[in-house]
Every structure is written in C-alpha cells, then in structure tokens.
Amino acid sequence: MTTQRSSTIRQAAVLVGGLGTRLGPLTANTPKPLLPCGDRPFLAWVLRELCRFGVEEALLLTGHLGEKVEEALPAIVATLPKPMRVICAREPVQAGTGGALYHARALLAERFLLCNGDSWLDTNLAHMLAAAASDPAEIAGRMLLRRLPDASRYGVAELEGDRIAGFLERPTPGSPGTINAGVYLLGRAVLDAITPVCSLERDVLPGLAAAGRLRGTVAEGYFIDIGIPADFERAQTEIPAKLHRRALFLDRDGVINHDHGYVGSRDRFEFIQGAKDAVRRAVDAGWHVFIVTNQSGIARGLYSEAEFAALMEWVADEMRAAGATIDDLRYAPTHPEAKLAAYRREHLWRKPGPGMLLDLIDHWQLDPTRCLMVGDQPTDLAAAEAAGVAAYLFPGGDLDAFVSPRLTIT
C-alpha cells in the first residue's frame, strides 16, 4: 500500500562519535566532526546544509570525546543561518553506527534523517525526501547512493529499480557502481532490527535489503570525507568554496503563485506554471533559493502571521514533494497605512526597501554579486538594486522557462 506522507523531515541524527584514528594527532583531543574547516567546525557545515531542507532539530550521536561536542555546541549553533535545536545523545559504550541509534531511540522521531558528521555529499536532498514520501509502509528506510565510474574501492549497493536488492563486495577495478553516500532517511521501524552494539552498514542494512525493505536514491555531486589527512586538507578550501552558494531570490505573489490579491490560505494559492521546476532546477545546480515577499495582508488584518506561516510551511512541503526546497524566507508584514496599529509603519524590509534581501545576505553570508532576484513588480527590482543584487522582471508565463537561461552566474 502506498501512503503519501509529508516530504518534510524535521529531525536529523548525526553520527559524531567516531574515533578518527586515521587522522592521528589531529583527533587525539578533538572529535573528527569538530575539526576546523575554513572558519568553522566541519559539523557546522553539515548542519547548515541540513537546515536548507527543512531539518529543525539535530540529534548529535556522541561517544568518544562527547564532552568536547557538548562544549562546542553554542559556537556551532551561532554559525547557523536558521534556528535549529541541537541536542546530544551520548552512547554509554562504543556502540557502532547502529548502536548509536539504539541508545538514542527515546529521542528519535517517527521518521528521521541519519548522516555522518565527518562526510558530506553535496546534492539536492529533496529528491530523496520526495521519493520517500510515497514509499510503501513496509519500507524501513531509504539511503542516498553515489554513482561512481570506478567503484572498486568500495562495496556497492545492487539496485532493482529503486529497491536495494543487496550489497556486494568491491567490484573489479574500472567497474561503475552505486555506493553508500552515508545519508539515510529512516523510520523508527528500523530500530526493531538494531541491537545495543552493532554496525548499521554490516549488521542491519543487509537484512533490510534482503527483506525488500530498503530503497535507494541515486545522487551525484561533490563528496568529501575528512577521515584521511589528504582529504581533510582538501576540505579546507573546497568546502567553503562549494557551500558559499549562489542565491536566487524569488518574490512570491505573481512569481511563485498567481497574484489573486492578499493570498493567505491554501484554497487561494495557485502555483505559477513551472514554479516548482524553476526552484528544483536552481537547487540541483547548487543555488540557494529564498522567498522575499511583502505581506501587507497581515497589516490589513486579512490573515495573521501564524496563518501566513502555516501556508508557507505547506508551500515548502509542496516544493520538497517536487524535489525542490526553499532554503529560507523573509516577509514584510507592515504597511504605512495598516488597519492594525501594530503593523502601521514604514519599514526597511518592505520592498522597495532592501531589508529582507540584506538580512538574508547577512545570515547566509552571501555575495550579492552572486545573487539574482526575480520579481513581477518594479518594487522588486528596486529592492534588489538597493541590495546590490541583479534582478529580472518576470512577465508571467512559465517560471522555469524564464529562470533557466538566467542562472548563468558562476
């Protein structure tokens, strides 16, 4: 039976308890995920990426040097562009990747992501979120798989469609294959197959695959594992360069949805043709996508901020169901002639003011010359110009057809 679920997963468990022995003295007193990468711990980059796709809580599965992770938490959270609840669950013994989940089971959500704190595949995770939303109930989880032209250094997953039929030993040199990218979307059902000390990869996944309960999403993208000195060195420049992304700012009404005037509810929210495709295309190409929208409907008392937030949660989930994501959102609820006194004022955030763009540029550490704005009003262009961002006026029609030839910034 296929059950359509939400495409939004709010919790990610992150494995941060490894010993890191291959890095020698570097990890004598520092857990690998805390090693600096550019201007912040590697783990901070992982959490930053997760929050783009709707994760609001990170559960750090700590072990070896767990107290160091706890000490570092406030500084890590301070680097994040969006609020995220970050908590630790410490394994009582060296429990392995499966055991780490076992010991944190009381804190795990019904469905959660699981990833490593010391590796990252730079890809559009929304494809996996979208696929998992329609997985049948008996499926225990999905794993992200990376296709390699030569997979001979790794064990490979054997796929039948998107079902993982099993895991094979290293193929012969030069043979292509799909390998485990270290990112999973799991349901709590997986906990039934987990013992207090076990390896997820060795002891749990093969059984789930044999029972037909494991699926895979094949992805491509830059991959780094900081577990060996040469790759850790490479990460110093490559990760900041990759993850300081270009950004596409989109107005909402008249760009993402038809402007029916003060749209504050789902029944009046009609997606523009190609809107989800345009966002997916930008995310696939490695761009952030942000919404910046004037919402004087709030100032006019037509809908509340809570109603607006609920509507935009739905929009974000609809986007993820289409393999897209909205990294972040700013809205301006004020109007100088507002009906509601609380919202009656001029505000830099209200376009043509540049405030919403500037705030996103600040939080996400964006380079305005690597950003693009698409709006349907002259005020959108004025706001972008004041923020130092190039902008285009969308005349209507198919948004993807309009945006796609304009994603030319490198």
Single out the residue of 247, 376, 389, 403 in contact with Mg ion (rule: CB under 5 A): 376
Per CB under 5 A, 327 contacts Mg ion? no
Minimum CB distance to Mg ion, residue 394 (Å): 9
Binding window for Mg ion (CB under 5 A); candidates: 11-19, 148-156, 162-170, 247-255: 247-255
CB closer to Mg ion, 254 vs 352: 254
Per CB under 5 A, 254 contacts Mg ion? yes
Binding window for Mg ion (CB under 5 A); candidates: 154-162, 168-176, 200-208, 251-259: 251-259
Per CB under 5 A, 400 contacts Mg ion? no
Q: State the catalytic residue, choosing from 122, 135, 251, 376.
A: 251
251 is catalytic: yes
Q: φ and ψ at 50, to 5 degrees?
A: -60, -35
Binding window for Mg ion (CB under 5 A); candidates: 24-32, 319-327, 365-373, 375-383: 375-383
Contact (Cβ atoms closer than 8 angstroms) between residue 11 and residue 109: yes
Q: What are the CA-CA distances from residue 146 to residues 133, 222, 285 (Å)?
A: 20, 10, 17
Minimum CB distance to Mg ion, residue 171 (Å): 52
How far apart (Å, rounded) are the C-alpha atoms in residues 103 and 91? 6
135 is catalytic: no
In this structure, what token pair is assigned to residue 328?
């972040």
CB closer to Mg ion, 254 vs 274: 254
Single out the residue of 91, 251, 327, 400 in contact with Mg ion (rule: CB under 5 A): 251
User: How many CB atoms are located within 10 Å of the residue 54 CB?
Assistant: 25
Q: Determine the size of the site formed for Mg ion (CB under 5 A).
A: 4
CB closer to Mg ion, 203 vs 398: 398
User: How distant is the alpha carbon of residue 332 from its chain centre?
Assistant: 24
Contact (Cβ atoms closer than 8 angstroms) between residue 125 and residue 184: no
Minimum CB distance to Mg ion, residue 370 (Å): 23
Instruction: Compute the CA torsion angle 53, 58, 64, 70 (nearest 10 deg).
Output: 130
How are beta strands 371-375 and 247-250 bridged, if at all?
Answer: parallel
Minimum CB distance to Mg ion, residue 169 (Å): 56
User: How many CB atoms are located within 10 Å of the residue 83 CB?
Assistant: 8
Contact (Cβ atoms closer than 8 angstroms) between residue 184 and residue 141: yes
Single out the residue of 49, 253, 277, 327 in contact with Mg ion (rule: CB under 5 A): 253
CB closer to Mg ion, 187 vs 375: 375
Q: State the catalytic residue, choosing from 135, 253, 277, 328.
A: 253
How far apart (Å, rounded) are the C-alpha atoms in residues 398 and 36? 43
Residue 28 burial (C-beta neighbours within 10 Å; 0-12, 13-18, 19+)? exposed
Active-site annotation, residues = 251, 253
List interacting residues with Mg ion (CB under 5 A): 251, 253-254, 376
